Structure 1
Amino acid sequence: MSKIIVRQTRSLIGNNPNNRKVVRALGLGKIGKTKVHKDNNCIRGMINKVRHLVEYELVND
């Protein structure tokens, strides 16, 4: 199964509280922090919602 590496690239200061919750749910919180998730529709939707704050990379196992 594929995995997605998500890295926070921008600060949460001044952002919508809902965006902050999504970033926290992805396991991030500080700039430069990285987290690996399974590639599924839920995670992709979360990344799409905060795509201006994070970058991601697909990894095939």
Structure 2
Amino acid sequence: MSKVRITQVKSTIDRPEKQKLTIKALGLGKLNRSVEKENSDAIAGMIRKVSHLVKVEEI
């Protein structure tokens, strides 16, 4: 599996609760915070849900 670096670039203020929970489940929560995750189907689905709030880079 490849790894991806996920960086939060937009705030979750005024976003639906599901998007806030998805950001928290990815290990984010503050602007410009980054995490590295294995690129699995579950992670890809979470990224798709909040793609407008994060930046994703292949590692």
TM-score by length of 1: 0.94
Offset at residue 23 of structure 1 (A): 0.2
- Greater C-alpha radius of gyration: 1
Q: Please give the root-mean-square deviation of Cα atoms over the aligned residues, in Å.
A: 0.6
Q: Which residue of 2 aligns with 1:45?
A: 45
Offset at residue 14 of structure 1 (A): 0.1
Gaps of 5+ in 2: none
Query: Where has structure 1 moved over 2 Å in runs of 4 or more?
Result: none
Offset at residue 35 of structure 1 (A): 0.2
Query: Alignment identity in percent?
Result: 37
Offset at residue 18 of structure 1 (A): 0.3
Q: Deviations over 1:22-59 (max 9, x none)?
A: 00000000000000000111000000000000010111
Matched residue pairs, number?
Answer: 59
TM-score by length of 2: 0.97
